A and B are shown apart, each in its own frame.
Chain A
């Protein structure tokens, strides 16, 4: 993908944040865009641990759930403001990720996937049965929209889909900016070193365990924030949402879009959120296509959709593609 630099990126972001709510009035279209935003935040977080640090975690739906329940409970039962609850939802998910990561990273490779899947399954079991806190199988209903903000005489209400779109996508752009900077920092490079060759990274003095934990905690914070945004948008959460299946779908978004790239998760989240919407006539057929897309992408586009440009170019220019670990590491 050709690079878009500096100012033009900022202008693009502002154009999306102002243009979309101005020109799109359909509640349905806005709803889909908000869901894409929430999934893109989730996928961007998962990309940190899966794409950059190369650890195939299948616990991401659990962090999503912890964020959603934390935000809902803090606002409804403790009575604090949404604007405080949202970062706390992220922090809570991060703490949980640390506690899960400590034992889980004793394993690696496919076994880490199984262990994190185990934790994901346990988390859903807890969501489903911790009735006093999570409402058990009934979930939590009647979660309020974020409290209104007054700037001068303008009162911003978040019940409107246009406004919620701006909120979600502003958070999304901020977090993607964070990922982009992280990827170029020493930390991001340490993640990639761990992904490429753990033993070599250790020999070079990189704290492998510490970097894996950091990547997992950061990814969980993204997930927790997405959960908070989700809970206060849908006004309803239930354990049905935070399943292992959901974790697999999130993983699919990262892989299809392009793991280890900055914008890949957004592309993957957009494509795999739109797909069931476009094929609303049959859930079965849309999910069959969903599964097929995942299989096809892994077989024919090992670097995901955003890696396609590089893949095609390297074929034409007869230069070997920059193969590495899971994917090609490129600028965003």
Chain B
């Protein structure tokens, strides 16, 4: 295997992981953009998405390609309930800073809650999720990719296009953009802010579930799988800029490929600190984050 092909292999691996990061980060970004909620438990919704898919395949023998959208729907409903009964009671029109802080702390509580609930239901050990595509390997020259990994990229493209269409071309999307821009004004203009918030949270959660269901077969399904990724999703959002679908895609792929290459050529798979370092440096360079506007009003 020559060096160029090795290099391409790492880039491809990074592209796959990056697609997963992008899906996860898009949901997080959508929820933040519309509701200004920093949902730290987004990684746990990703984890639950993976487990629901896993359970449908292993216990109910539902085909993977049916189980995945079903898991997205189930998690979407669950996300809507979370928004309605956990996050909305903390909405505070007089003090947005307090609202953000409280919602952030609640989401930290949810992180603990979901992780151990998953551990109680499915056990603490990582589970292998098998799909009909397990074992199918595509090969171009010396560069290889399993079909399960390729599916992450394909589904990411499909879902991102769908999301883009939803945001740009539908009435709901327009309402979401209006609420993202200015909640109070949107409310005055007759946008049903609470309904839009619930739906945004549902859609964001569904994207997390999709990411979980897709990444599950490639990596293991474990209660801590979301906690390991959430920091990276934040890096992606800050890297790409809030609310920008293309920024998030660019950020996700950039982080995935950088990590893959740095891990391969330099740090010997010690990629964990990269996320931490990036988040520190990025926020240092742009002190209020790339979505600084929000902070100033808060």
Query: Which residues of A are interface residues toward B (Cβ below 8 A)?
Result: 56, 103-104, 106-111, 113-115, 117-119, 121-122, 125, 245, 248-249, 251-252, 255, 282-285, 287-288, 290-295, 298-299, 302, 325-326
Q: Closest CB of chain A to B231's CB: distance in Å?
A: 7
Docked-complex contact A108 and B273, CB < 8 angstroms: no
The 5 closest A-B pairs by CB, nearest first: A291-B113, A294-B109, A291-B112, A287-B116, A284-B120
For the complex, give the distance between the alpha carbons of A114 and B234 in Å. Answer: 8
* 4 more CB-based (< 8 A) A-B contacts, given A122-B280, A245-B227: A288-B120, A298-B102, A298-B106, A299-B86
| Alpha-carbon distance between A249 and B113 when the two chains are bound, in angstroms | 12
Give the shortest distance, in Å, between A54 (CB) and chain B (any CB). Answer: 8
Known: A107-B283, A285-B120, A288-B120. A294 touches B98 (CB 8 A): no
Q: Are B280 and A290 closer than 8 Å at their CB atoms? A: no
Q: Is B109 a contact partner of A111 (Cβ separation < 8 A)?
A: no
Inter-chain contact total with CB atoms closer than 8 Å: 129
> Is there an interface contact between B280 and A248, defined as CB atoms closer than 8 Å?
no
A117–B111 alpha-carbon span in the complex (Å) = 15
Indicate whether B284 reaches chain A with its CB closer than 8 angstroms: yes
Enumerate chain B residues within 8 angstroms of A285, measured Cβ to Cβ: 116, 120
CA distance A295 to B234 in the complex (A): 22
Report the nearest A residue to B108, measured CB to CB.
A248
5 A-B pairs with C-beta separation under 8 A: A103-B280, A109-B101, A118-B279, A248-B111, A283-B116
Nearest Cβ on chain A to B120's Cβ, whole angstroms: 4
Whether the Cβ atoms of B295 and A298 lie closer than 8 Å is no
**B112 (CB) vs chain A CBs: closest residue:** A291
Determine if B112 and A248 form an interchain contact, defined as CB atoms under 8 angstroms apart: yes
State which of B90, B101, B108, B276 has its C-beta within 8 Å of the C-beta of A122.
B276
Chain B 4-38 interface residues, beta-carbon cutoff 8 Å to A: 38
Q: Are B105 and A251 in contact (CB under 8 A)?
A: yes
Interface of B is mostly: helix
Which residues of chain B have C-beta atoms less than 8 A from A106's C-beta? 283-284, 287
Which chain A residues lie closer than 8 Å to B275 at the CB level?
Answer: 118, 121
Q: Is B130 an interface residue (CB 8 A)?
A: no
Residue B147 interfacial (CB < 8 Å): no
Q: Known interface pairs A56-B101, A119-B280. Does A109 touch B109 (Cβ–Cβ under 8 Å)?
A: no
B84 at the interface (CB under 8 A from A): no
Bound: A108/B97 CA distance, A: 11
CB distance from A279 to the nearest CB of B (A): 11
Give the Cβ gap from B220 to chain A, nearest Cβ, in Å.
19
CB–CB A125/B108 < 8 A: no
Residues in A with CB closer than 8 Å to B108 are: 248, 251-252, 294
Bound form: Cα–Cα A172–B98 in Å: 30
Residues from chain B with a CB closer than 8 A to the CB of A118 are: 231, 275-277, 279-280, 283
Q: B69: CB under 8 A from chain A?
A: no
Q: Provide the residues of chain B in CB contact with A114, threshold 8 Å.
A: 234, 238, 279, 283
A248 — which chain B residues lie within 8 A by C-beta?
108, 111-112
**Cβ proximity bits B119-131 to A, threshold 8 Å, 1 near / 0 not:** 1100010000000
B72 to chain A, nearest CB (A): 24
B185 at the interface (CB under 8 A from A): no
72-127 of chain B: CB within 8 A of chain A:
86, 89-90, 97-98, 100-102, 104-106, 108-117, 119-120, 124
User: Complex: how many Å from CA A326 to CA B103?
Assistant: 12
Smallest CB–CB gap between B258 and chain A, Å? Answer: 16
Q: Pick the residue among A109, A283, A292 that contacts B100 (CB under 8 A).
A: A109
Beta-carbon contact of A109 and B295 below 8 Å = yes
- B166 contacts A by Cβ under 8 Å: no
The answer to whether B104 and A56 have CB atoms under 8 Å apart is yes
Distance in angstroms between the alpha carbons of A94 and B159 in the assembled complex = 48
With CB as the reference atom, state the residue of chain A lying closest to B94.
A323
Minimum Cβ distance to chain B for residue A241 (Å): 17
Contact check, A291 vs B287: say whether CB atoms are below 8 A apart.
Answer: no
A299 pairs with B100, CB closer than 8 A = no
Other-chain contact of A325, B98, B116, B117 (Cβ < 8 Å): B98
Known: A107-B283, A291-B112. A326 touches B89 (CB 8 A): no
> Do A292 and B109 have beta carbons less than 8 Å apart?
yes
In this assembly, does B157 line the interface, its C-beta being within 8 Å of a C-beta of chain A?
no
Partner pick for B109 among A115, A122, A284, A291, CB 8 A cutoff: A291
Q: Contact check: which of A111, A122, A299 meets B106 at CB < 8 Å?
A: A299
Which residues of chain A come closer than 8 Å to B112, judged between CB atoms?
Answer: 248-249, 252, 287-288, 290-291, 294
**Does B100 lie within 8 Å of A110, measured CB to CB?**
yes
A251–B105 alpha-carbon span in the complex (Å): 9
Find out whether the CB atom of A113 lies under 8 angstroms from the CB atom of B272: no
B113-A298 in contact (CB<8A)? no
Q: Please, how many angstroms separate the alpha-carbon atoms of A292 and B38 in the complex?
A: 18
CB pair A108 B280 closer than 8 Å:
no
Q: For the complex, is B288 an interface residue (Cβ under 8 Å from A)?
A: yes
